[in-house]
Each structure stands twice: as C-alpha cells, then as structure tokens.
Structure 1
Amino acid sequence: MPRTSRTSPSRRTFLAGTAAAGAAALVGATAPAAVAASPGRVSRHTHIFYYPWYGNPDFYGQWRHWPQGSLTPPDDISANYYPVLGPYDSGDLRGAVAQHMRWLRQAGTGVLVSSWWGQGSYEDQQAEVVLEAAAKQGIQVAWHIEPYGGRDADSVVADIRYLTQKYGDHPAFHRDPERGNRTAYYVFNSLLTVDWSALHQVDDQAIVMAQTWDLSRIGDFGGVYTYDAIATANKPDWTGVAAFCADRGMVWAPSLGPGYIDDRAVPGNTTPTLDRADGSTYDQEWAYALDSGNGDAPPDWVSITSFNEWHEGTMIEPATARTPGTLEYLNFEGAYGRTGRRAETAYLDRTAQWAARFEAALAAHR
C-alpha cells in the first residue's frame, strides 16, 4: 500500500522485503466445492481490509490518494485498474460508501477492517460514515491500526480505548460473541515495535492481531494475520503459527487476495506482480488459507486483502473495462469465465461462495 505524507515504510516496501522474489502466478483453480452462498447471509468469520482514504473535489474539496504517481484524476488515477464508481470519495455516505456496503454484503463478508491512521486522522474522520453505511447492510466494522508516526504499544492501547469510547456503542462496531464480545484490532507491520506487553491492559475488550508469523514476536497479541497476498501465493509453512495460536487460545486469521500490481501508483517499483490468472490465483489462495488451520480444523477467521486497495491492485471491488483518458487499464474480463457487466462483480460472487464454504467447514468442526 503506497503511502503519502507518512513517516513509516510503505506497504510496497514491506511486501518487497517479505515476499519471495519472482512469485509466479498460480494456475489450476480449485473451485469452492458444492457449497453455494445463501442470499443475504454474511460470514462473521470472513474479514476484509477496507480503505476509507480516498477523496475527490466534490466531497473533500480536492483529490486524495487518486493522484499518487503524479497522475491527474479523473482520467488518470494511481491504479492499474479503474473502479466502476470512478475515483470516488470515502466521505460519500449515500453514494460510493453505501454501494460498497451493498457489494460487501453481496460478497458475504461480515466484517470489514477499516484502515485507521490515528486519532483525528482523515480515516478517523470517515469512521462514522463507514459505520453508518455498514450498519444498514448488517456488516460490522473492525479496525486496521496503521503505522502512523509515533505508534507504539502504549499508543495502540490508547487508540483502542479511544475507538471504544467514541464508536463502541454503534450497532456496526465489531464484537465477537465467540470471544467475549471483544473487538478485532489488526496492527499492520507490528514488527516495527519490539515490546507489545502493554497490550495486556486491554485483553478484556480487544483481540489485537499481529501482522507476522514470527512466533517470537506474537506472544503479547490476541491473534495473528499475514496481510500479504504475494506471500500466500508462495504457500508458506503456517503449521507452526496455527498450532501456536490454537494452544494459547489466540485467533489465527491467514490473509489471502486475488493478485497484486502497483506499477502505476509507485513508478519504478521492485515488488513482484501477482497475476490474477482469471481468478485462479484467488481460488488457490482461498483453498490454501482454509487448509491452514491446526490439524484438520479450518482457521478461526480469514482476512481478505482487499476490498478496495486500488493502488496495489488487490481489490475485489468491481473494476470496469470502460475507462476514460489515454491510459490503459486492466479489468476483470474473463474472470471465472465472465464477460461484460458480469465480469465486474466476478470477485464479489466468488468471495461469497468461498465464505459459505468456510462457514460450512467451521460448522463441521464445532
């Protein structure tokens, strides 16, 4: 995830440092077997990363995020794909954000994990918008605490208390009834801080997720996720972290995604591209993640990278082949054999099928 005006390493830098160089596109898709999504039902165990950081002149007063890479919206945007909604604003409650929540419900994802850059940040200012729109679709909102300047264990404890006090009474605020009605807080690039022992102050109200599978760095957390879809494509050995979490009552939430490309947002980047292969990559990553639990059990949650990280091309949000300007954009034509308008929502519908399969697997192990 490319960053602007931030003091921390970019998502691209992180991925370049952790993914195996030259990751090849996966082939031979493994389809969700014989489990259809139930219309209107969502999986509370399927979490998806959501980015409320976009702005345009109609709402924010200027472009935000879309111009990265020295591009000029609306024709040219900092993404290799172009959204069906165009370069939207994350504050557009009745327009883009309401549509996002309808699409998330279509995808069967019950919890969105909203990118959050600290108290008073732009993303914090959009939190009420996200919560309001999510509530109308029966979706819950958890939090992705990003590496804002000065973030450490003490500040994250303060952030959890702040978010709980400010938004905790909202009907869309995430609570997990299977884990004491606690809320999920994902901490991106958790390795930036060494000592996380302060997190135990909020054990009663928070499931704080470490973004690493280094067993020496997760003992103070309530769970583990991986975020990186490129790493998942390389099928890393997660047996140790799955067993570690199971033995300690921690949440194991492996991450998966449909692909990766950030060439337009970060010109000259060195991060490998992960081709979508018309959906085969997504299917393979889902299958691998669901098989990554402890023993024959599925993982506790899965975390999808992402709904709308357009800069890195990991989104399942609909993309269009009908684009403006002179730049060429990729699209979802051919995904799962679909073309035209049906191709635009191909990843939403496939997500719903996999989420239903995941819920069936969890039910079978209860």
Structure 2
Amino acid sequence: MEIPSLWSVLKVAFDARPYKGHDDHSVHENIKYILDKYGSHAASSKYQTSIGKSVMLFCIYDSYLTPAESWANLLTPSGCHSLCNSYDTMSIALLVEEGHKHNILSAGYTTTYTYFASKGFSFGSTHQNWKAVKTFCDSNNLMFIPTAGPGYINSSIRPWSSHNTRVNGKYYDTALQAATVRPETVSITSSKKWHEGTPIEKAVHKTPMCLYLDCLPHQPSMYLELTHRWAEGFSKEKQWLM
C-alpha cells in the first residue's frame, strides 16, 4: 500500500498542558500569543465549522482541574476575557470521568476528547461508553472526539501494565473500530517516547540488539498502513488529530 507523505497533509494543533499558575487568565494570554504569531501559518490545524468559519484548534489537557466557571470567563461570549468576539478558536476539553461532560458544557466548551489510549483506564477511554457519550454530545451541540491508540509496550517502567499491550495491530484495530460512532473527528494518541511504546511511525528491526515494538520484519509500515486504511473508511470531511 502506498502511503501519502505526512508532510503533504500534516497540520499542527496546540496541546495546552498544565503549569504553575495555569488558569483561564494565563491560557487566554497563551492562546492569544499563539493565534497572533501562528494563526495564519499554513501548517496551523483549522476546523471548518457548520457555518463555514475556519477555527484554530487547541486541546486543553487536564481541563477538569480548572473550575468550569473560570473557563466560562474565557469561552463564553459574556466572559470577562472572552476569546469569542475577537478570535476564531475551538478549545477541546478532556473528558476523563462521566460527570465531566456536564462541567464541559457549563464551561462553554464546544468540543471534548478522551486523549487516553488505554482501554478502560478512565470512563472517557472506555470504548463501550463512547456511544452514550456521543449521544449526550449530539443532544447538547457538543462535538465528541474519541481517541484511539496502538497500545503500549511499557512494562519496563510500569511492570503492572500489561492489559493494553500492542498485539500486531489488533489493539489499534479494536480502538479504531470502537471510534466509528459517527464522530466528526478522530484523535490518535501516539508518542516517540521509547519507554511508553506507543509510536505508529515506520519501524525497522535492529537485531540482535532489539526488536522494535510489535512491528514484524516484513511490515515496517504496519501501523501507518492501518491508520491509512481506517482514515479512508471515514468520509473526506472527517479530520484526524495525532
């Protein structure tokens, strides 16, 4: 299978991580800086809304740690330092526990994602919950972004972590199958960190020193091929966050 170059389709969305002093005021300044500096860049990931507006994407990791009323200052039109009237953005909240979906709504978010690619690790990352979450989101004009991943090989640092181990693409297939709940967007959690074992990029064996994850010697692009195959299964309007 011929896989198109990622550089021909790759766009960058920003992932806002917690830091000391992290709150709605500081995130407002962070987003404003990024938009002013990179908002018009060709590589900036944009989402086309139903009314034809192109908005820049921001994933807000651990968003639930900040009270909903504080986010409302930033994300609602009447907020004291609202982004709504001056910047075209889409902030994406992290759904971990079931109750978070109500806080996400009151905070003014229009989108939520699950981030964690460990099946069963949280309410949000449990595949069998996605249909109900999607129904809730549809009923409340909220976009739901389920997150898939290839699994982990990280027992060297987390000896107890064996439930979500990669199995020659089967774990990834299962997650992507579960994500077909009519989403507008699908996200993939993958990292180049060797100790976590979540990459999907082309991999080769370096024997006798080591075997690279669960990629077979004759299939160095297995996970990219799986990604490509599933992406083709979604309509052309769907977007992927990685």
TM-score normalised by the chain length of structure 2: 0.78
| Cα 1:356–1:249 shift into 2, 3 Å | same
Q: Is 1:216 matched up with 2:102?
A: yes
Deviations 1:5-36 (A, max 9, x none): xxxxxxxxxxxxxxxxxxxxxxxxxxxxxxxx
Say if 1:320 and 1:331, in contact at 8 Å, map to a contact too: no
Q: Using a 3 Å threshold, how does the CA distance of structure 1 residues 254 and 205 change in structure 2: closer, same or farther?
A: same
Residues 226-273 of structure 1: per-residue CA shift (max 9 Å, x gap): 111113675231233212322333221100001113334xx3564455
Q: Deviations over 1:56-101 (max 9, x none)?
A: xxxxxxxxxxxxxxxxxxxxxxxxxxxxxxxxxxxxxxxxxxxxxx
Question: Quick one: which amino acid aligns to residue 225 of structure 2?
Answer: D
Equivalent residue number for residue 140 of structure 1: 11
Aligned equivalents of 1:250 and 1:176: distance in 2? 14
Matches within 5 A, 1:81-160: 102=5, 105=6, 134=7, 137-160=8-31
Query: Residue 166 of structure 1: which of 37, 41, 45 is its match?
Result: 37
1:322 is displaced (CA, Å) by: 0.4
Aligned pairs for 1:43-62 within 5 A: none
User: Against the structure 1 CA distance between its residues 169 and 361, is the aligned structure 2 distance closer, same or farther, given a 3 Å change threshold?
Assistant: closer
Q: Does 1:333 align with 2:215?
A: yes
Q: 1:262 aligns with which of 133, 136, 154?
A: 154
Residues 172, 311 of structure 1: alpha-carbon distance in 2 compared, 3 angstrom cutoff? same
**Matches for 1:228-239 after TM superposition, within 5 Å:** 228-231=116-119, 234-239=126-131
Which structure's relative contact order is higher, taking Cα pairs within 8 Å and 6+ residues apart? Answer: 1
* Alignment partner of 1:347 out of 208, 216, 223: 223
TM-score by length of 1: 0.53
- State the percentage of identical aligned residues: 29
Correspondence for 1:111: none
1:313 aligns with 2:197: yes
Whichever residue aligns with residue 199 of structure 1, its letter is L
Q: Which has the higher helix share?
A: 1
Indicate the residue corresponding to 1:194 in structure 2.
Answer: 67
Q: Structure 2: how far apart are the matches of 1:253 and 1:218?
A: 13
User: Contact 1:320 / 1:332 at 8 angstroms: preserved in 2?
Assistant: no
Unaligned runs of 5+ in 2: 76-81
How many corresponding residue pairs?
Answer: 217
Q: Which residue of 1 aligns with 2:185?
A: 301
Q: How far apart, CA to CA, are the structure 2 residues paired with 1:269 and 1:151? A: 32
Q: Root-mean-square deviation (CA), in Å?
A: 2.6
Distance 1:39 1:272 in 2: 31
Paired position in structure 2 for 1:295: none
Distance 1:184 1:269, change over 3 A: farther
Aligned-residue offset at 1:197: 1.2
Cα 1:154–1:281 shift into 2, 3 Å: same
Output aligned runs, 1:238-253, within 5 Å. 238-253=130-145
